[in-house]
Structure 1
């Protein structure tokens, strides 16, 4: 009942009826998502890159991945470049933010979204999505760190639980890909999620 009411509420506020499929959850797939941005402050951050990959059952559909460079309005700082390695000349070849977000929406559809501290990525994306759709990203969200917390808490309720990405990779015995690359980070979240699913925490 609540899901039906929420869908009606969102549909009434959706500016583009052609995007109504965003409100219909995909029965078999989810999308692992990550963004590279100009700042860790979501209120001022601009998109630099988007990485997304679909998961179906126990498979990561790497061949169906999405990787987009985004041309920001302001040039990234030297410190920012040092983190993600995206130089001004790399980003000059990127696509406008609106086009990137539209392509991401096409890729996601109604699939639930998976990520590591996904709330930040959603907050940045919604700055672009809300003016376009009239609503923020409506998909169900799966927070990787929360699933991992539940897994570790079940093992040792009295333990201090380290939610760092390094700790997740070590505890779940998963190889770590090079960090601060949007597609690599999306793939890492997907692999860690599958490792949790195999342990009954998907």
Structure 2
């Protein structure tokens, strides 16, 4: 979790003060659901090939208020394994803008709003290496991890030996959310947004998700 002292440090040492707006809270009833498609799973070595963000205001996902872009990777190119996931080949992103040009527009769209997502910490770490180059700071936005909200509604206080299933498809199925075409940045952002709204509503009502009684070694929630 990105704490207050950490944010104060980066705000004080910001390399480009034009991005001070990121450190100012956004509207109280707004968050942004974010997803990145990448060339791999190593933020140090891999690059972003697509990014999408959609605004959530109150209980509505405003698909008309969205940001989406293909991105030409700086160094790492889509390989066979990543292409199987997002189906974006090198030629598909060859004419796209590099992230350093995409990033300012994305940041203006996000502002100081909290960021929602599934494995949102990975997406933010992918963006951080570009923000460090742009203004010498990491993204200060609060992160809301969908799998952690789901874990709390389904597995909190689960007995020892319970099996935890935190796969995105399982979360959507439990919440009755339709599965859009997966590993499309905009679709993934929309589905994460729908899961967030459903889980937030359950949390406000104190509702829980019924769990089955299986045995196994439980992994921790991804957003813990």
Contact 1:151-1:201 at 8 Å conserved across structures: no
Aligned to 1:184: 187
Give the structure-1-normalised TM-score. 0.92
Query: Displacement, 1:92?
Result: 1.4
Q: 1:77 aligns with which of 69, 76, 79?
A: 79
Which has the larger helix fraction? 1
Shift of 1:122: 1.1
Report deviation, 1:198: 1.9
Q: Is the 8 A contact 1:69 1:93 kept in 2?
A: no
CA deviation map 1:6-58 (0-9, x unaligned): 55422211111121110011122111001000011222110100011010110
Count of paired positions: 199
TM-score relative to the length of structure 2 = 0.83
| Residue aligning to 1:136 | 138
Alignment correspondent of 1:39: 40
Partner in structure 2 of residue 174 of structure 1: 177
Find the counterpart in structure 1 of residue 109 from structure 2. 107
1:164 equivalent in alignment to 2:176: no
Q: Residue 101 of structure 1: CA displacement?
A: 1.3
* Partner-residue secondary structure (3-state), 1:48: strand
List structure 1 segments (4+ residues) > 4 angstroms apart after TM superposition: none
Distance 2:36 2:171 in 1: 19
Check 1:12–1:199 CA distance in 2 against 1; reply closer, same or farther (3 A cut).
same
Q: CA RMSD in A?
A: 1.8
Partner Cα separation in structure 1 for residue 181 and residue 100 of structure 2: 28
